[in-house]
Amino acid sequence: MKHAKPAQGAPFGVKLALFMGVSLVWLVLDRITKIWADGAEPGTVLVEDIGGLFEFVLVHNTGAAWGMFSNSTFALGIFSLVVCAVILVVLCTYIRKEGNLLQVFFLACVFAGGLGNAIDRMAYSYVIDFINAKFISFPVFNVADIGVTCGIVLFMLATFIHDSQRSRKDA
């Protein structure tokens, strides 16, 4: 008699709840910080020095990082929404069956970041950026950008580890 394999990972309901919760918290954090920062004129230094590493300076960004696609706000906003839709498809297909909670967490950060910047692009025709790294030459960024960048890198790492572990178990 053949034994059924036990279900792997958390149930989809748990994954979905985690995704929605992390997305909501990250999006609210992004919105609150942008509302705070956008109360000044662009170029205004809001907080001068944070441990010699950062400063907060308001920038209205009509393009992407490093000045790419300048004045392409609407197209970049549509692109962000398409990426968010793709994330939902990935969540409901691969993550539903194979994914783990770390992957869900990181996907939620990417989703919320993409949505946060899309909201800016559609509502204001620019993205509100305000975090300036003083220790490296890097574009001014925001909380949404942190979610997108860190979320993508950590999702890929979590997926690599998850797939490696699954391959070892199957061997």
Could you list the active site residues? 129, 145
The distance of Cα 14 from the centroid of its chain, to the nearest Å, equals 20
**CA angle, residues 138, 142, 146, in degrees to nearest 5:** 80
Backbone dihedral angles phi then psi of residue 125, each to the nearest 5 degrees? 70, 20
Helical residues (DSSP H) of 5-132, grouped into ranges: 12-37, 73-90, 96-97, 101-124
List Cβ neighbours of 141 (8 Å cut-off, separation of 6 or more): 65, 129, 131
**Could you tell me if 133 and 54 are in contact, meaning their C-beta atoms sit under 8 angstroms apart?**
yes
